Structure 1
């Protein structure tokens, strides 16, 4: 009885490479990479929380001092002591003990009490303002990213064409401050043409809820601030994507794809734009994190009840608890956005998956 010998052909170009090892051993979960990233994000979160605790306390005065000044000495010393115990600002307690108490509060989901919002819980104050910022600025950031990246890819693909005029125009608009563009839009579209309201999130007397009247009010009042954010931030996405496209189009694989007779649309979106968009994803993750800090002026111009305006009020009142709660939301937004960017990077770039497998 003769034994049959099976010969397995191996591509010599893959011998000794990561692709060969992955093919032989199956898909390997990059536990070392996952553990390293988890440790990095955990340390970053702890460092941000620590800085978030100590930084406001470097300021002169505190929330109780500001509240006492506004009350013009009407509070007794016992009332002041009670307020300091409530806000964790008792000067007789060591700073390290206040820090430990603050960490314990965070572990139990307690962000403290806000003195600038009528002694309301910080979580409730943030929850009432955050949806407005996410709904308006978050949506505007996504829209500007998608439009700017797509437009930049097309401009880079058709370099030297008529579409190049968009680059200096959008770049110039990106150098104009938010409040100038917002004031111009208010003067033209609201005061002159009367197309959109000049400010606020909805008209007084409208009952908030999932009804047509309220939703229409929210859309009409949010149109001008959203348009302002898109116009101002569009230039950065267009310029960044166009420059990356010019670099990618000189690569050999683009020349090979075109030499094989592939349609230009497929080469543009499946090969060139897919690789050129990778740096844009990291920039987008950072842009998501800085939504709060970048909207303070815009919300002031349009009197929009977002979290940026709430942060400004908390800073003016030296409301430590509310400031720390908003900064914590900002840190979490940055970390989550970067985690999503890492996942998107691995999906769009096969080399990342091979290296970490």
Structure 2
């Protein structure tokens, strides 16, 4: 119990630090963000209207109050889920824009990450059990080679050959212009069709890291004394591989999977930009390019919170699966 309480306390403190940092970064930057935005809208050399600056400052939440009062108001806005109005997509709110892009990223990156983890873990475990065999050599060397390839380079190749040359898949967008978004089979099928190439560009390289990590961890666990004892007792080979080798070897990969799933909220910026996919990655690029401070703040907080929550869940899962973790925490 002490282990879980400590991890929860660490999560709360870290989340508070992320929220505070998210509040301070725009206010510590040199210059006035509102003036910069108005100048960008007006054009170079044009006169800046003070009323417009004041309006933009109110839109960004930069009120003429003390920093402590602004911080307190900011915390209240977070509790209410009010992240302000997006400057790029005015008059839509930041929450609305993130809500529009979030399902696309969750489906694309979430499905590919989970599939990559499952494929990589299974192949890595089997390669470790059949180590020094031809299968082990092909899987290990192949995953190292494929894992060294940039996934955005693979995305460009898929886009050129399968979309432009062969014309088998659409080259941009999340759905066709003539399809009405909604929970209909026509829209779901069209969205899945548009997501094949972005998913393939991620899924080709996604299992590589899990294969190498699982193989190395399982080779080490198979050399431990408890595995030798299981063999000496005459246990079945499948049980030794699953319960004594894979069960211990998969623990470090669980933490990696949790961090990868937490980072889903950041999207895959390059892939979504290449395919013009309407996810959080492309939304982040547009926010940075347009200096959309409310949208950038909210996306940063979403990504940080997602990683922290995923890390907390991974710690809890490790505490349940590995009694040694709880025992070490109770001794300290």
Asked if these proteins are the same fold (TM beyond 0.5), I'd say yes
Q: Which residue of structure 1 aligns with residue 21 of structure 2?
A: 51
1:248-295 CA-to-partner distances (Å, cap 9, x unmatched) read 110111112222222222211122000001111111122122234461
User: What is the rounded CA distance, in whole Å, between the counterparts of 1:347 and 1:34 in structure 2?
Assistant: 10
1:87-123 CA-to-partner distances (Å, cap 9, x unmatched) read 2224x44444433321221123211111111131111
Please say if 1:302 is aligned against 2:275: yes
State how 1:29-108 maps to structure 2 within 5 Å. 30=1, 32-59=2-29, 61-62=32-33, 65-72=36-43, 73=46, 76-90=49-63, 92-108=64-80
User: What is the rounded CA distance, in whole Å, between the counterparts of 1:210 and 1:291 in structure 2?
Assistant: 23
Q: Number of residue pairs matched?
A: 326
Q: 1:172 to 1:95 in 2, by over 3 A?
A: farther
State how 1:79-228 maps to structure 2 within 5 Å. 79-90=52-63, 92-163=64-135, 164-228=137-201
Q: Which structure 1 segments of 5+ residues have no match?
A: 1-29
CA contact (8 A) 2:22 2:300 kept: yes
SS of the aligned residue for 2:268 comes to helix
User: What is the rounded CA distance, in whole Å, between the counterparts of 1:176 and 1:199 in structure 2?
Assistant: 22
User: What is the rounded CA distance, in whole Å, between the counterparts of 2:133 and 2:241 in structure 1?
Assistant: 16
User: What is the rounded CA distance, in whole Å, between the counterparts of 2:82 and 2:185 in structure 1?
Assistant: 36
Q: 1:127 to 1:119 in 2, by over 3 A?
A: same
Q: 1:176 to 1:58 in 2, by over 3 A?
A: farther
RMSD: 2.0
CA contact (8 A) 2:7 2:315 kept: no
User: What is the rounded CA distance, in whole Å, between the counterparts of 2:34 and 2:157 in structure 1?
Assistant: 37
User: What is the rounded CA distance, in whole Å, between the counterparts of 2:241 and 2:5 in structure 1?
Assistant: 36
Task: Pick from 207, 210, 217 the counterpart of residue 244 of structure 1.
Answer: 217
Cα deviation for residue 166 of structure 1 reads 1.8
CA contact (8 A) 1:190 1:196 kept: yes
Higher Cα Rg, which structure: 1
Q: Which has the higher mean CA deviation after the structures are superposed, 120-129 or 33-42?
A: 33-42
Q: Which structure 2 segments of 5+ residues have no match?
A: none
Q: Which has the higher mean CA deviation after the structures are superposed, 54-63 or 174-183?
A: 54-63
Cα deviation for residue 189 of structure 1 reads 2.2
| Stretches (4+) displaced over 4 A | 58-61, 353-357
Q: TM-score, normalised by structure 2?
A: 0.91
User: What is the rounded CA distance, in whole Å, between the counterparts of 1:63 and 1:308 in structure 2?
Assistant: 25
Q: 1:66 to 1:82 in 2, by over 3 A?
A: closer
